[in-house]
Structure 1
């Protein structure tokens, strides 16, 4: 590691530059969700076409994570961070001036790849700037910017779109990115030890094939009807064989893409599993479902939906700092356990009570514990993994972010499928309980007054109510995956450490 001593002001500015870049990158993953429905007209496409704006970004970011460690070893964290911010800024400008679906998807691919470079290097720089005994607060500060961004995204996206245009969502990154590159080049210390690092190209190709095919399958499965579609079946086979050949090549290769020896460490493995299941399968479902609840079930405008998300997002930032301080003072493990208990309480006792009739202020209050729990997770689990990565910080970050990304894709796909499944299940149950003759007489009566529109309104009402009733079970399914992930946290109690994390 190549660092130099510098003043408190210089240190503070360096932290601010890195956090701002990471915040900007993460913000773009959620701020775009608000504008997707508005892109159909300007880009002359349908909703399935504009969904590729999100899918392309997600795929490129996942692939970028696989090569970022090699780039860091070759050029250093600081240089790759600045390159990532510069490319991300340029890609944001390209998105803003796009006039076709192909143009914006191309720009989003570049932007997603750059996001991976920014996120891993930013985390590595923050972690390296702080001494070992302050790494908890380091990750708390990082989480203050990064974990808070997904909550701010819908609010900012709604505001910019409402008062300016969808292009402003991308253009807002440009001046920020330019400032970061200029001042980052002047102020950021050179961090990252250069060392020979041979990239396993064959493993990279096979894992890329697996990742791309899997993410497309998960994001498009509901649209195509899952395995009733030949397209989805082909993607499943491609992802399976891509992963199989990756495993075979890794087994026989001396130069492996991942350092599997790290998984011999109990705490490292537990940390990765928590990232994969709790943060991926469960928390990503909530991040996906909460805006849907406010906007589609309660019918709130985009700005109010953003304020609802911000209602729990504020607590993510506050408790990220608290968790970081507590992790340094005591240990990450008790903080994680407290976070898991709050998370399970919110998942099983608060979220299932949210429905169409829940007042807005009450919904905000009931989602606050979720924000507190998430704030208590990020810093401790990151410190747990990094302190047990045998000094291979970039490898630990890359692995954490990759498994979280894959887990999050699974979580989003599960939530999407459950929304349809439980809605249909409640609709069938509703129809089964109805007295046919009474309902038929009622429909004939309203049809006399309102024509066929009256029957259609009644059908829409039934679908809406089934959506409302089914949401309870979608919440509970997300909580179930939270319980599975929490079991790994509780498993930390059954193994003693010889040294503090």
Structure 2
């Protein structure tokens, strides 16, 4: 059933069902992005894969996501939104089954790539559906609901994955998608509408060159970000080649989209000030928030010895707290509180979280300490995500909403990829620098150092070691201690520098979001 643009706004139970479908599908995509991380060791053992091969299970999904996300608006136009959304759910669900039945690593990689094509579409199309199902004056509340999916999905993925791996078997992390996917497909066909402005273009108008340039440029960039640290960046000829390919591919893609009459990604929509500022802030959020989320499990598992399930459970209370903050912030925006001041407050709160975490992390840090800091993080998340997401689409209408959602979705993905890549490299190199500094203070002639070594040698001699082996074991323990301390210091630096990054961006928000807000007021007056 198709209707005009104005009738896309829903009321009563239909709006509730449509919103629930969209949020659940967005969560499915995000859960699957993180749930596999905790199963890599099991997958490697069962599929007979090397460490480098198993990493492609994550990389293939990310590559597919970053390719499909910017094209979702165009694909929705080609197939009709309802049909495209339903097809995406089906592809995601079927590939979940195929991933669970994979018998070797490359089967898994292929199915994960195709699953990522369906999953990336779910994330962006869900945002468009929610934005257009709610009336304009309640769009902030609608985007607040969508934000819950963005926050809850990545948080519960590792927890759920850890529970299933510890108590059952790895295929269940994929099979769990199947009943939800079947139900979502049925409800989509019954409730989701396709707007009339989504007219299919003839084959002669399809921007095939734009699709090729987008695929080559963005996938090359994503590969560089995913694999650069593993390959020692520009010491690898492949990384150099793909970096050049990414730069020229993306530059030519931008030129093509701005000059071609029927572009696959409508970049001209970025003339809208709200969307332009929101896109930059979305990239920043992806960089900072996903980057620090990536670091915390590393700290708890590698240095504190926690299991994946314990690390995931740690995030849950803060995530639940985010739900309350999101509801409160959405109401504040509905009542006219400026998004600018909410965003600024969120950035300051996130700086406090980063600074606090920098001072909080030790090798003896307990869950109670982390719990309190994560509540502060949840406050910052709620204050940032809702205003930024709502502001980005606030003055768009009709097909511009889908186009804007596709662009912000792409920048959210790229922000997260840049964040993880840069932070991973930073940790590796900063850890080495801290190690050199720590070792320089370990003077073999220092009485305290000698006392510690002698204590360790005595402990190993008591266990039956001869003097030579006991001495080697003692120095090994000392080396391990230095490595842990240097890694800890690098994690502390990450939280501090990301917090400072958010604080530095406050003037940018105060200057430019003010201009975007004036546009909102003008648009509201016209409507």
TM-score tier after normalising by the smaller chain length: over 0.9
Q: Which residue of 1 aligns with 2:362?
A: 355
Q: Which residue of 2 aligns with 1:450?
A: 470
Check whether the contact 2:53–2:105 (CA below 8 A) recurs between aligned residues: yes
Q: Which residue of 1 aligns with 2:227?
A: 220
Structure 2 residue ranges without an equivalent (≥5): 458-466
* Aligned partner of residue 353 in structure 2, secondary structure: helix
Q: Label 1:212 to 1:440 Cα distance change in 2 as closer, same or farther (>3 A).
A: farther
Listed as ranges, the matches of 1:7-18 within 5 Å are: 8-18=12-22
Partners of 1:61 and 1:146 in 2: CA distance: 15
Are 1:497 and 2:501 an aligned pair?
no
Q: Which residue of 2 aligns with 1:67?
A: 71
CA root-mean-square deviation:
2.3
Are 1:241 and 2:248 an aligned pair?
yes
Q: Label 1:64 to 1:352 Cα distance change in 2 as closer, same or farther (>3 A).
A: farther
By how many angstroms is 1:113 displaced?
0.6
Are 1:171 and 2:154 an aligned pair?
no
Listed as ranges, the matches of 1:92-491 within 5 Å are: 92-191=96-195, 193-197=197-201, 198-277=205-284, 279-330=285-336, 331-389=338-396, 391=398, 392-438=400-446, 439=449, 443=453, 446=457, 448=468, 450-491=470-511
Partners of 2:314 and 2:504 in 1: CA distance: 27
Partners of 1:240 and 1:452 in 2: CA distance: 50
* Aligned partner of residue 47 in structure 2, secondary structure: coil
Q: Label 1:7 to 1:80 Cα distance change in 2 as closer, same or farther (>3 A).
A: same
Check whether the contact 2:258–2:267 (CA below 8 A) recurs between aligned residues: no
* Aligned partner of residue 199 in structure 2, secondary structure: coil
Q: How many residues align?
A: 500
By how many angstroms is 1:499 displaced?
4.3
- Select the structure of larger CA radius of gyration: 2
Partners of 1:4 and 1:404 in 2: CA distance: 26
Structure 1 residue ranges without an equivalent (≥5): none
Partners of 1:498 and 1:94 in 2: CA distance: 48
By how many angstroms is 1:203 displaced?
2.0
* Aligned partner of residue 256 in structure 1, secondary structure: coil
Partners of 1:196 and 1:6 in 2: CA distance: 24
Give per-residue Cα distances to partners, 1:122-175, cap 9 Å, x unaligned: 111111111000001111111222321111111111111111111111110011
Moved more, 26-35 or 478-487: 478-487
* Aligned partner of residue 436 in structure 1, secondary structure: coil
By how many angstroms is 1:270 displaced?
1.2
Check whether the contact 2:266–2:403 (CA below 8 A) recurs between aligned residues: yes
Are 1:91 and 2:111 an aligned pair?
no
Check whether the contact 2:70–2:409 (CA below 8 A) recurs between aligned residues: no
Are 1:36 and 2:40 an aligned pair?
yes
Partners of 2:79 and 2:335 in 1: CA distance: 35
TM-score by length of 2: 0.89
By how many angstroms is 1:296 displaced?
1.4
Check whether the contact 2:287–2:419 (CA below 8 A) recurs between aligned residues: yes
Q: Label 1:498 to 1:234 Cα distance change in 2 as closer, same or farther (>3 A).
A: closer
By how many angstroms is 1:339 displaced?
1.6
Check whether the contact 1:70–1:199 (CA below 8 A) recurs between aligned residues: no
Partners of 1:223 and 1:481 in 2: CA distance: 25
TM-score by length of 1: 0.93
By how many angstroms is 1:377 displaced?
1.9
* Aligned partner of residue 497 in structure 1, secondary structure: helix
Check whether the contact 1:297–1:356 (CA below 8 A) recurs between aligned residues: yes
Q: Label 1:114 to 1:192 Cα distance change in 2 as closer, same or farther (>3 A).
A: farther
Check whether the contact 1:92–1:111 (CA below 8 A) recurs between aligned residues: yes
Q: Label 1:70 to 1:190 Cα distance change in 2 as closer, same or farther (>3 A).
A: closer
By how many angstroms is 1:306 displaced?
0.7
Give per-residue Cα distances to partners, 1:467-490, cap 9 Å, x unaligned: 122221121222233234444322
Q: Label 1:249 to 1:28 Cα distance change in 2 as closer, same or farther (>3 A).
A: same
By how many angstroms is 1:225 displaced?
1.0
Check whether the contact 1:144–1:321 (CA below 8 A) recurs between aligned residues: no
